[in-house]
């Protein structure tokens, strides 16, 4: 009987900790770069992608790295486009 109560108490404690940490799990950071800096980093990612494509890494490693670079470049484009839309003044 005591083991059952300890088990239930452990489960409830675990669920409580999960709920408390769920609210603080995600944070959003905004990084500001100049247009030239963003272009420079984007181009460097493209060069890294080409180097990895021509390397002796296994196919699985190349796919992982290229997908990571592609998703990072896509996120850069999304963020830049979102900021450009925000900066464009609306006509009234």
Amino acid 31: pLDDT: 72
**What Rg value do the Cα atoms of the chain yield, rounded?**
23
**45-60 pLDDT per residue, tens:** 888 888 888 888 888 8
Domain ranges of the chain: 27-87
pLDDT digits (tens, 9 = 90+) for 71-83: 888 888 888 888 7
**pLDDT value at residue 23:** 63
- Provide the CA 85 distance to its chain's centre, in angstroms: 22
Nearest-CA neighbor of 73 among 31, 42, 28? Answer: 42
| Contact predicate 62/53, CB 8 Å | yes
For residue 54, the 8-state DSSP code is T
In tens, the pLDDT along 7-42 reads 777 777 877 776 666 666 566 667 777 888 888 888
pTM for the complete prediction? Answer: 0.53
């Amino acid at each position: 009987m005591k083991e059952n109560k300890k088990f239930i108490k452990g489960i409830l404690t675990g669920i409580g900790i999960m709920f408390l940490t769920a609210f603080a799990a995600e944070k959003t950071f905004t990084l500001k770069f100049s247009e030239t800096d963003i272009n420079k980093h984007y181009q460097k990612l493209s060069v890294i992608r080409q180097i990895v494509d021509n390397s002796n890494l296994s196919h699985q490693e190349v796919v992982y790295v290229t997908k990571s670079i592609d998703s990072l470049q896509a996120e850069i484009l999304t963020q830049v486009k979102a900021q450009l839309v925000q900066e464009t003044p609306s006509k009234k």
